[in-house]
Amino acid sequence: MKFARSLTITITILFTLILTVSCSKEQSSDVNSTVDINNETVKAALRAHIEFLADDLLRGRDTGTAEYEIAARYVVSNFKQFGLKPAGENGSWLQTVPFTKSTLDTSTVEMIVHTKDSSLDFDFPKQFMSGASAVSEADEVRGKLVFVGYGIVSEELKHDDYSGLNVKGKIVVYLGGKPASFPSEMGAHLASGSEKRRNAAEQGAIGIIAVHTPLSDKVRTYEKSIPNAGKPSMSWQMKEGGVFGNYSEIKGGAYISKEAGKILFSSAGHDLEQIFTEIEADKVPLGFDMDIEVSFKRQSSHENIVSSNVIAMLEGSDPILKNEYVVYSAHLDHIGDTAHGDEEDNINNGALDNASGVAVMLETARRFSQGEPPKRSILFVVVTGEEKGLLGSNYFAHYPTVPVESMVANINLDMPLILYPFADVIAFGAEHSTLAGFVERAAALQGIKLSPDPMPEQALFVRSDHYSFVKQGIPSIFLVPGWTSKDPEINGEEVFGQFFSKHYHQPSDDISLPINYDAGATFIQVNFDIGQEIANSKSRPQWNEGDFFGDKFKK
């Protein structure tokens, strides 16, 4: 999800683990029975997968590394043992994703504000941050500024920040975020950087300045992003040529601090403080021409990188419905080795982000392979590049290895915190489609409930790989254990909060965390039962009538 003192395991132990996994075929083939939490085989297999994937030897499974590919081959090896079929490219298990890794030469990056009688050089990264260009080695652009409010355009909400403004050949200035009155998930989609960039490009802008606001502070302060300034970024290369999400007409841009924003606005005779007061009262600020110019300069270098998605299939039993697929997804990549040189442990093992999700998917796949296949086929999609911006799933969703309209639902597994005996599950996105009913019934089989999203303001529905499937019109959920605990001594919400503050994207997200394998086994069963019912049901899941995401993306 977009939000170690690890055990070093010798090769001998790794082999033992693989043997443990391969020996577990002998478990019950009665796939409809509720899981026996004493099912030592499932628990041992789950543990073995997580221990392997989170081992220091895999160095945090960063996209594009050899260690990531070893993890991918481990997944393939398991799918083969389960008797699944390869469903990648050209009859293989893999889909090779070509990436461009772009690095900004921070010594060359420049943002200058030009007024009638002065020019002001902004400081990188204290006052502004800028990313590398994904396509050109040297960029230079200068243009007049136009303030465009939040830079959002939505027919559904009858909201158009560009209304009455001409930004052709100019640089747009917009506030980060969105009006507070926008519904959370829909708003998160509309206010995403990619949507705002698309709007700017469609309106003919040549540059973008995004302004940090006091409201943005509540999510993440500007200062917190400074250590990441100038870090390389990745994008995937389109088969048609070019890099996805790149607009050649936009030649430069910056993300600026509140203080830099105030200087920028006052240079043009405007008061940003007053606009901040308006947005805090949830008034939508109106745009205007700013009578100043800004110039940007930067140099970028590029590297071609490849990394693999892994795709496997269990063929359905119905002669017609087997041409439709229930899709499980989980990201295998993590953030790698954050070498600063001075710490004892720099390896981000990602035991829970997302070795646990991949392990749950593998054991779900094993369960499917043990009984009668359901009517529809099941597709298991293990993706790369999630931590770089949902890239591997986006690539798969654009170039699926089965027809896009044949995918009836996506169930995504990302960072399931199997750390306590949970008494409920959360399915982000369930309220958008008929998938909610499937989750409710599967949970009920385990005597647990489906709980509503406990943190709608985080808009997690647009923050993991299922979102790539949503944008192709496929009803999707992102399934995690809920915050209710069967153990009165453990508060699920506290465990979640602690994980986020202490271990999320840290080397301590490793195998030393108190993973509860009984909870893991229950989670596997719920996950399996959801897919099993979808795969056997007469009609495929549907978006709810009038749902924003359904209406926007349904094919």
Contact positions vs Zn ion (CB under 5 A): 353
Q: How far is the CB of 1 from Zn ion (least distance, A)?
A: 5
Find all residues with CB under 8 Å of 137, minimum gap 6, and list them. Answer: 299, 300, 301, 302
* Cis bond before residue 354 (omega within 30° of 0): yes
Q: Which pair of structure tokens corresponds to residue 242? A: 């070019």
Select 353 or 424, whichever has its Cβ closest to Zn ion. Answer: 353
**Beta-bridge partners for 337:** 347
Exposure string (b/e) for 164-178, b if CB count within 10 Å is 16 or more? ebebeebbbbbbbbb
Taking the least distance from each CB to Zn ion, the nearer of 21 and 382 is: 382
Angstrom distance (rounded) from CA 362 to CA 42: 11
Task: Give the residue from 158, 149, 145 showing the smallest Cα distance to 178.
Answer: 149
Q: What angle (nearest 5°) sits at the alpha carbon of residue 278, between those of residues 272 and 280?
A: 105
When the beta carbons of 4 and 165 are compared against Zn ion, the nearer one is: 4
- The number of CA neighbours under 13 Å toward the Cβ of 65 is 16
498/213 Cα distance (integer angstroms): 27
Residue number, 24 or 356, with CB nearest to Zn ion: 356
Rg of the Cα atoms in the chain: 24
Distance in Å, CB of 388 to Zn ion, minimum: 10
Q: Are 322 and 377 in contact (CB under 8 A)?
A: yes
Min CB(354)–Zn ion separation in Å: 7
Query: In the complex, what is the shortest distance from the CB of residue 387 to Zn ion, in angstroms, rounded to a whole number?
Result: 5
To Zn ion, the closest distance from the beta carbon of 148 in angstroms equals 32
Cβ proximity to Zn ion: between 139 and 333 the closer is 333
Q: Which is nearer to Zn ion, 167 or 332 (CB)?
A: 332
In whole angstroms, the minimum distance from the beta carbon of 468 to Zn ion comes to 15
- Biggest CA–CA distance in the chain, Å, is 81
Q: Is 353 or 453 the residue whose CB approaches Zn ion more closely?
A: 353
Per-residue three-class SS string for 235-297: EEECCCCCECCCCCCCCEEEEECHHHHHHHHHHCCCCHHHHHHHHHCCCCCCCEEEEEEEEEE
To the nearest whole angstrom, how small is the minimum distance from the Cβ of residue 110 to Zn ion?
A: 33
Nearer to Zn ion, 206 or 383 (CB): 383
* Closer residue to Zn ion in complex, CB, 68/543: 68
Nearest by Cα to 549 from 185, 131, 124, 42: 185
Query: Which residues, including other chains, have CB under 8 Å from residue 57's CB and lie 6 or more apart?
Result: 8, 9, 67
Closest residue to Zn ion: CB criterion: 353
* Whole-number Å distance between alpha carbons of 81 and 327: 20
Residues in the chain: 555
Q: Which is nearer to Zn ion, 43 or 331 (CB)?
A: 331
Q: How far is the CB of 68 from Zn ion (least distance, A)?
A: 14
Q: In angstroms, what is the minimal distance from the CB of 386 to Zn ion?
A: 7
CB of 419 to Zn ion, least distance (A): 16
